[in-house]
Amino acid sequence: MSFLRRRKPTSTPSSPNSDHNNDDSDIDNDKEKKTIREEKRKNTNTRWSCLDNCWWFVGGVCTVWWFLLFLYNAMPRSIPQYVTEVIAGPMPDPPGIKLAKEGLKANHPVVFVPGIVTCGLELWEGESCADGLFRKRLWGGTFGELYKRPLCWVKHMSLDNETGLDPPGMRIRPVSGLVAADYFAPGFFVWAVLIANLARIGYEEKNMYMASYDWRLSFQNTEVRDQTLRRMKSNIELMVATNGGKKVVVIPHSMGTLYFLHFMKWVEAPAPMGGGGGSDWCAKHIKAVMNIGGPFLGVPKTLAGLFSMEAKDIAIVKAFAPHVLESDVFHFQTLQHLMRMTRTWDSTMSMIPKGGETIWGGLDWSPEGHYECNTKQHKNNHKPSVKNMNYGRLISFGKEVATLHSSKLERLDFKGTLKDKKHVNASICDVWTEYHEMGIENVEAIAKYKAYTADSILDLLYFVAPKMMKRGDAHFSHGIADDLDDPKYNHYKYWSNPLATTLPNATDMEIYSMYGVGIPTERAYVYKVNSDSKCNIPFKIDTLADGGKDDSCLQGGVYSTDGDETVPVLSSGFMFAKGWRGKTRFNPSGIRTYIREYDHSPPANLLEGRGTQSGAHVDILGNFALIEDIIRVAAGATCEDLGGERVYSDIFKWSEKINLKL
Amino acid sequence: MSSVRRRRGSEAQSKEIQAEENNKEEEEEEKEHGEDDNDKNKKKKKMKDEKSKEKQEKKRKWSCIDSCCWFVGCICTVWWLMLFLYKLMPASLPQYVTEAITGPLPDPPGVKLKKEGLTAKHPVVFVPGIVTGGLELWEGHQCAEGLFRKRLWGGTFGEVYKRPSCWAEHMSLDNETGLDPPGIRVRPVSGLVAADYFAPGYFVWAVLIANLAHIGYEEKSMYMAAYDWRISFQNTEVRDRALSRIKSNIELMVATNGGNKAVILPHSMGVLYFLHFMKWVEAPAPMGGGGGSDWCSKYIKAVVNIGGPFLGVPKAIAGLFSAEARDIAVARALAPGFLDNDLFRLQTLQHVMRMTRTWDSTMSMIPRGGETIWGGLDWSPEEGYTPSERKQNSNNTQLTGQETNKTNVNYGRMISFGRDVAEAPSTEIEMTDFRGAIKGHSVANTSCRDVWTEYHDMGVEGVRAVAEHKVYTASSIIDLLQFVAPKMMARGSAHFSYGIADNLDDPKYQHYKYWSNPLETKLPNAPDMEIFSMYGVGLPTERAYIYKLSPYAECYIPFEIDTTAEGPDEDSCLKGGVYTVDGDETVPVLSTGFMCAKGWRGKTRFNPFGIKTYIREYEHSPPANFLEGRGTQSGAHVDIMGNFALIEDVIRVAAGAKGEDLRGDQVYSDIFKWSEKIKLRL
């Protein structure tokens, strides 16, 4: 402190207190010495204050951290639970423990079929940029490599644009075993909770099987490249044989439901194209198929994903790490890179809405009619909404277009427009997406067509991404079969479309559709032309389009309806409510179908994590009620034992409105 | 200004003395100003006093915790910096450095053979050995909460340190049934991850897998036949359906790989497990797999045994007898401090012994074939072996005369009490039979009960009787074990057998307990199949032991290896109470090689269909320097899985080569000479 005070006189040249010259000079002298010393001291002091303090701080933080960590590790495991119970009241027993107390035992072997993106992928062969990643997860886990070498990552995760298989010199393969999809990322469970609860009543690896597959490939290609379907068949047969002939309970989730539809057709089809299991394979080996959140008729989100890479959920990644995809990991053009990558994944096309206008509604009608988005909250003072939503227009350009009656719409056909190659700018747009081959005229032509229904959207996709759709067309179909006996429906491209196949001949089998309801789910979009620059994707969702108070279903350019946040109720429920109910032409042997809906309620407090009553697409795998249902069925119950159907949504009412020949 | 200074000065005056020492540095300056007035000097001095006072205060504050924090912070920061630099470093740098020091590295065999144009052909099945496969918890007691589907065995072994007695409790099996104790389910990890790395950085199959992947293998053409290596072979089928799974997966892989038969790679105990499998799969349904008598010929191209203890391992005896073999658990090799320290508060060995004695599989490795194979009191097949023999051969001078002087080591005496007993001719040894000795129950001390080993039931008389028998050969050792551990051996003899069959067509040999003993079974009817035995040589391997009575208190294991027994010179086979012979550090050459060198060679009664057998030995040479890690030319039992020559052979076989294409046998040891000495009816 003293030298600070000393400094002051130096700034004031003549101090009033000094009378002698002698004194003055002395003080000056003194001053000089002092300043030298001050500087010395200051130097040491600054060193302390900067680097040392820094180290001191780091050391302090580290030590405290380690100490806390040590305490945490030393703490008995029951304390967090105890704290939770004090705050939130006693927790219910996990279903596994509860049912173990009831005396339930492992009975039927269980097969899990994971959905898109939830299953891990690992590297088996790569280019030099992926050195040292052999058998490390590229997808799933911590996604560390995405940050470290993003371009390398994208390159390896992409498939060949022509064949939809591995690019030369790269082999990415699904992880196998239960670890493939128990946790998607550390702490983000997918199947882990269900597995843990099943283990409580005696399940272990000999009677649980994770049918992991490469979810990027088209379903038939998983068999061509990895023989995945045949592995699944062989493993199911093995489990039935080693568990005393008890049939399996299959639990597909999300896209896995379509994959398993494909499997059921494949396994009974004759050998070169199919598995050659004979027409009674399913009847002999499957007790029940318990679909969880199955997008049987497709997901509107896929459209937004394929069209402009904007759906909130083309990758679940986006849901829990929103910054991953939006940040500039790839130096600009993140979305373009992602679009290029995802467009090489054939499997995404399995989820384009199926059934066209018959199912999803036309320009002026939709099965959901006047669904009110916040019914749940307004149930008490319920007023029937007057307004009709045009859910049928899956994509409209501009908010007015979305609400206008079809007779007032002026639509120009885009299909005749020639593609203009002049606008391809190779130097700037190093990211290849098919949009660069389109040119401005075409972009405008698309916008002028104004409204797209589930039918015309296919034409749109053919127009904007011809190569992708050509691959997709060879593996998936999106129509409704007129005559299911037509031999053309023996082709594998129809196997995953419930509207173009029949269910297997297995009268004892049960099919469940279990899904969450009560969460607004994307159903239709309001788009605008993106005029930013040439290298960008030319369309984007018009996030300004908002319905306001009277039209709460429109928010940020997205019309939403009831569902599980990803799949609308219509898609997961219709086949069960009507398409397969009783003996129909899609279900000739009359397999019993059941709908089990789970009303979403968000976690009560932070300690509950992702909640035990969630209805969201992935979180529902931790829903206690759903887990209990699954365990009961796995232990031998039939749906009557569960108390039959459980419906909260208007799925039966909406299904009535759909005129499908049955 | 001055007034301020003065006021301060008056305060500081009293502390002038304290500050004196700090003024030394400033004395020089003061001298310069000697002409100045006194009061000015005083003023200055007071100034300095203040400063030094503050300095002192600061120093005092900065003392203990601060410098501690400072130190930790320093280290952390530097560490992070290094870590950051390390991460930034291109992946090729370490390789570059290594190459700069040791010269260019050879291509890994996978890369080399890919250049030769080899591609994946036959599907490959790995059968891991004892202890290398991971085990995870599926159901446990209260103390193991939160460990669901976490590895108890393999990985970091963190739980051993955190809750050792809980860990031992869960790793043990039921002492009566050899299956799970009630309320505990520990199951093998499945998939390639089960045994690619045993612990982080300690590879088992990983190097082989990586090299196979280079020529195009992936999970659809590779299968890890993981099984619970603690339980007896037949019980893996009873409890986990492990054998059925292997059968089904081999069938699937052959079907999906265009009908190319599988190449099986068993390692260590996996060799015996696969012998068991081959009998099981062809046996009719209730006891066997019902695959029909041509299953092996339809689905198996070759069995490439790596370090297979076909005739057992002497180490297993020491392990069962006194939990002392260096390698009953590989764990010991990699964490030597781990089993020897007092993790369990005293009695570590007893706890380990109690645990390992519940593992039936250890009994599969008790030496088989008795005195016929392992030698009697006065002879052994290896007699005359000197460890340095092969080194001398290279610069062979007139050393032959020396050989005759060498005392013959009586390897046949697998356990002797006292060194003089081990070396004396058999006529001079007075053996008293221990079998009649009454076990004294009176001595059993209840305080020892918390660690249960069967020794406590024996009493002093029993222990003395055992010691007085003095010498045990491979035959009498079975009686010994039956005497000291009757419960364990009762379980063991229901699942394993150690004899030699007189008449292989006797229907009793259809029982599964004989299936893993090559001396009591026939090889399957698969003339096109090939059997390889690949193993390392050139390492001293435990073969016989000198024991003594343990002088400690009652709660200890009453026998221990007499580590003071040393051979006469450095080259001697006797070190620390252990006689060593040529082998791969765990399995002696005799055990790995004899069946392929003689027992199965040509058409014999053990190999009635003339399956071709090949011996491929790999001479051990230690890693040239630290950078090579566990070496690419190692011959040690587990490290051989990273031996480039072996990997190359394996890849060639997997890509379609036959035994002749590898140029048949490759032998460094005296296995053929030794085999000649064994009089086994073929």
- The residues spanned by each domain of chain B are 110-131+204-311+515-538+584-677, 135-188, 314-366+369-384+409-444+452-496+541-581
Give residue-wise pLDDT tens across range B481-499. Answer: 888 888 888 888 889 998 8
Question: Cα separation of B495 and A400, whole Å?
Answer: 81
Question: Cα separation of B682 and B678, whole Å?
Answer: 11
Q: Do A206 and B245 touch (CB under 8 A)?
A: yes
Q: Do A195 and B149 touch (CB under 8 A)?
A: yes
Average pLDDT over residues B635-648: 91
Q: What are the chain A neighbours of B185 within 8 Å (beta carbons)?
A: 204
**Residue with more model confidence, A83 or A471:** A471
pLDDT for A41 equals: 54
pLDDT for A328 equals: 46
Minimum mean pLDDT among A254-268, A354-368, B427-441: which range? B427-441
Kindly tell me if the per-residue pLDDT of B454 is higher than 90: no
Kindly tell me if the per-residue pLDDT of A451 is higher than 50: yes
pLDDT for B344 equals: 44
pLDDT for A3 equals: 42
Active site residue A254: yes
pLDDT for B341 equals: 47
Q: What is the CA radius of gyration of chain A?
A: 31
Q: State whether the Cα torsion B633-B634-B639-B640 is positive or negative.
A: positive
Question: Cα separation of A30 and B253, whole Å?
Answer: 93
Question: Cα separation of B199 and B472, whole Å?
Answer: 37
* Distance between B241 CA and the closest CA of chain A, angstroms: 7
Question: Cα separation of B71 and B67, whole Å?
Answer: 6
Kindly tell me if the per-residue pLDDT of B638 is higher than 80: yes
Q: Which residues of B552-561 are buried (b: 16+ CB within 10 A; e: fewer)?
A: eeebbbbbbb
Kindly tell me if the per-residue pLDDT of A386 is higher than 50: no
Question: Cα separation of B682 and B671, whole Å?
Answer: 17
A81 touches chain B (CB under 8 A): no
Give residue-wise pLDDT tens across range B572-614. Answer: 777 777 888 889 888 999 999 999 999 999 899 999 999 999 9
Question: Cα separation of B584 and B639, whole Å?
Answer: 10
Minimum mean pLDDT among A87-91, A606-610, B333-337, B613-617: which range? B333-337
pLDDT for B534 equals: 94
Q: Contact, B610 vs B602, CB < 8 A?
A: yes
Most confident of A30-34, A47-51, B55-59, B299-303: B299-303
Confidence category of residue B540, pLDDT binned at 50, 70, 90: confident
Beta strands at A188-189 and A183-185: parallel, antiparallel or unpaired: antiparallel
E strand segments, B60-142: 124-127, 135-139
Q: Contact, B249 vs B256, CB < 8 A?
A: no
Q: Which of A6, A62, A226 sits opposite B220 (nearest CB)?
A: A226
* Distance between A497 CA and the closest CA of chain B, angstroms: 27
Q: Do A26 and B47 touch (CB under 8 A)?
A: no
Q: Do A231 and B256 touch (CB under 8 A)?
A: yes
- Across chain B, how many H-helices and E-strands are there? 28, 17
Q: Which of A158, A254, A366, A571 is catalytic?
A: A254
pLDDT for A542 equals: 77
Residue of B nearest to A170 (CA): B216
Burial of B96 (0-12, 13-18, 19+ CB in 10 A): exposed
- Phi/psi at B364 (5° precision): -70, -15
- Phi/psi at B613 (5° precision): -120, 145
Confidence category of residue A469, pLDDT binned at 50, 70, 90: confident
Cβ neighbours of A9 (radius 10 Å): 16
**Residue with more model confidence, B338 or B64:** B64
Q: Which of B543, B626, B537, B627 is nearest to B584 (CA)?
A: B537
pLDDT for A208 equals: 93
Q: Contact, A373 vs A560, CB < 8 A?
A: yes
Q: What is the CA radius of gyration of chain B?
A: 33
Confidence category of residue B455, pLDDT binned at 50, 70, 90: low
Give residue-wise pLDDT tens across range A54-66. Answer: 777 777 788 888 8
- Across chain A, how many H-helices and E-strands are there? 26, 17
Q: Which of A580, A511, A588 is nearest to A249 (CA)?
A: A511
pLDDT for A310 equals: 62
Confidence category of residue B102, pLDDT binned at 50, 70, 90: low
Average pLDDT over residues B299-308: 94
pLDDT for A249 equals: 95
Domain boundaries, chain A: 348-352+355-374+387-419+432-475+520-561
Q: Which of B43, B70, B119, B193 would best serve as a mutation to test chain A binding (most A beta carbons within 10 A)?
A: B70
Amino acid at A36: I
Q: Which of A600, A617, A619, A629 is catalytic?
A: A617
Active site residue A337: no
A36 touches chain B (CB under 8 A): no
Q: Which of A5, A52, A177 sits opposite B190 (nearest CB)?
A: A177
Q: What is this structure's pTM?
A: 0.83
Average pLDDT over residues A92-111: 89
Length in residues, chain B: 682
B450 touches chain A (CB under 8 A): no
pLDDT for A30 equals: 58
Kindly tell me if the per-residue pLDDT of B515 is higher than 90: yes
Question: Cα separation of A295 and A611, whole Å?
Answer: 23
Active site residue B141: no
Residue A220 contacts by C-beta under 8 Å, 6 or more apart in sequence? Answer: A262, A266, A475, A492, A493, A495
* Distance between B159 CA and the closest CA of chain A, angstroms: 12
Q: Which residue has the tokens 């299904």?
A: A655
For residue A105, is it left (φ>0), alpha (ψ between -120 and 50) or beta?
Answer: beta
**Residue with more model confidence, B132 or A553:** B132
Give residue-wise pLDDT tens across range A484-502. Answer: 888 888 899 999 999 999 9
pLDDT for A289 equals: 94
Average pLDDT over residues B338-367: 70
Confidence category of residue A591, pLDDT binned at 50, 70, 90: very high
Q: What are the chain B neighbours of A242 within 8 Å (beta carbons)?
A: 241, 244-245
pLDDT for A375 equals: 46
Q: Do A55 and B70 touch (CB under 8 A)?
A: yes
Average pLDDT, chain A: 79
* Distance between B123 CA and the closest CA of chain A, angstroms: 13
B47 touches chain A (CB under 8 A): yes
A165 touches chain B (CB under 8 A): no
Average pLDDT over residues A204-228: 92
Average pLDDT over residues A288-299: 93
Q: Do B70 and A33 touch (CB under 8 A)?
A: no
Q: Which of B72, B220, B245 sits opposite A238 (nearest CB)?
A: B245
**Residue with more model confidence, B376 or B217:** B217
B138 touches chain A (CB under 8 A): yes
Q: Contact, B585 vs B636, CB < 8 A?
A: yes
Residue of A nearest to B144 (CA): A77
| Sheet arrangement for strand A171-174 | A137-139, A121-125, A171-174
**Residue with more model confidence, A166 or A640:** A166
Confidence category of residue A40, pLDDT binned at 50, 70, 90: low
- Residue B53 sits at the vertex; the CA angle it makes with B52 and B56, to the nearest 5 degrees, is 85
DSSP string spanning B358-395? T-GGGGGGS--SHHHHH--SS--TTTT--TTHHHHHHT
A2 touches chain B (CB under 8 A): yes
Question: Cα separation of B20 and A228, whole Å?
Answer: 87
Share of chain B above pLDDT 70, in %: 74
pLDDT for A12 equals: 41
Kindly tell me if the per-residue pLDDT of B668 is higher than 80: yes
Minimum mean pLDDT among A519-533, B285-299, B431-445: which range? B431-445
Confidence category of residue A418, pLDDT binned at 50, 70, 90: low
Q: Which of A206, A210, A224 would best serve as a mutation to test chain B binding (most B beta carbons within 10 A)?
A: A206
Minimum mean pLDDT among A123-127, B19-23, B191-195, B261-265: which range? B19-23
Q: 3-class SS at A395? A: strand
Q: Which of A166, A564, A619, A629 is catalytic?
A: A564
Chain pair A-B, CB pairs under 8 angstroms: 132
For residue A103, is it left (φ>0), alpha (ψ between -120 and 50) or beta?
Answer: left
Q: 3-class SS at B104? A: coil
User: Which run of H or of E encompasses B614?
Assistant: strand B612-619
Kindly tell me if the per-residue pLDDT of B542 is higher than 60: yes
User: Which run of H or of E encompasses B168?
Assistant: helix B164-171
Share of chain A above pLDDT 90, in %: 28
pLDDT for B53 equals: 57
Kindly tell me if the per-residue pLDDT of B180 is higher than 50: yes
Tokens standing for A217? 């490939």
* Distance between B71 CA and the closest CA of chain A, angstroms: 7
Q: Which residue has the tokens 């569960």?
A: A642
Question: Cα separation of B262 and A572, whole Å?
Answer: 43
Confidence category of residue A26, pLDDT binned at 50, 70, 90: low
Average pLDDT over residues A621-628: 91
Give residue-wise pLDDT tens across range A102-115. Answer: 889 999 999 999 98
In chain A, which among 112-151 make CB contacts under 8 A with chain B?
124-125, 131-132, 134-135
Q: How far are the Cα atoms of B11, B23, B45 from residue B56, in angstroms, in the given order?
A: 17, 12, 16
Confidence category of residue A223, pLDDT binned at 50, 70, 90: very high
- Residue A105 sits at the vertex; the CA angle it makes with A103 and A106, to the nearest 5 degrees, is 165
In chain B, which among 179-198 make CB contacts under 8 A with chain A?
185, 187, 190-193, 196
Amino acid at B378: D
Tokens standing for B168? 């031992």
Cβ neighbours of A480 (radius 10 Å): 17
Minimum mean pLDDT among A99-108, B18-27, B537-546: which range? B18-27
Kindly tell me if the per-residue pLDDT of B26 is higher than 50: no
Q: What are the chain A neighbours of B47 within 8 Å (beta carbons)?
A: 2, 6, 34
Cβ neighbours of B199 (radius 10 Å): 17
Average pLDDT over residues A617-643: 89
Q: How far are the Cα atoms of A9, A41, B19, B40 from residue A30, in angstroms, in the given order?
A: 12, 16, 20, 10
Question: CA torsion angle for A260, A266, A267, A268 (degrees, to 10)?
Answer: 120
Average pLDDT over residues B621-645: 82
User: Which run of H or of E encompasses A444?
Assistant: helix A439-449
Q: How far are the Cα atoms of A110, A250, A597, B640 from residue A232, in angstroms, in the given order?
A: 12, 11, 28, 35
Q: What are the chain B neighbours of A179 within 8 Å (beta carbons)?
A: 191, 193
pLDDT for A607 equals: 63
Tokens standing for A175? 């992880």
Q: Which of A459, A447, A411, A452 is nearest to A529 (CA)?
A: A447
Share of chain B above pLDDT 90, in %: 29
In chain A, which among 53-72 make CB contacts under 8 A with chain B?
54-60, 62-63
For residue B444, is it left (φ>0), alpha (ψ between -120 and 50) or beta?
Answer: beta
Q: Which of A172, A242, A243 would best serve as a mutation to test chain B binding (most B beta carbons within 10 A)?
A: A242
Q: Do A131 and B1 touch (CB under 8 A)?
A: no
pLDDT for B19 equals: 46
Length in residues, chain A: 662
Q: Which of B52, B172, B221, B268 is catalytic?
A: B268
Burial of A106 (0-12, 13-18, 19+ CB in 10 A): buried
Asked if the B110-131+204-311+515-538+584-677 domain carries CATH number 3.40.190.10, the reply is: no
pLDDT for A548 equals: 63
Q: What are the chain B neighbours of A97 within 8 Å (beta carbons)?
A: none
Q: What are the chain B neighbours of A132 within 8 Å (beta carbons)?
A: 91
In chain B, which among 210-249 make CB contacts under 8 A with chain A?
210, 213-214, 218-220, 240-241, 244-245, 248-249
pLDDT for B405 equals: 42
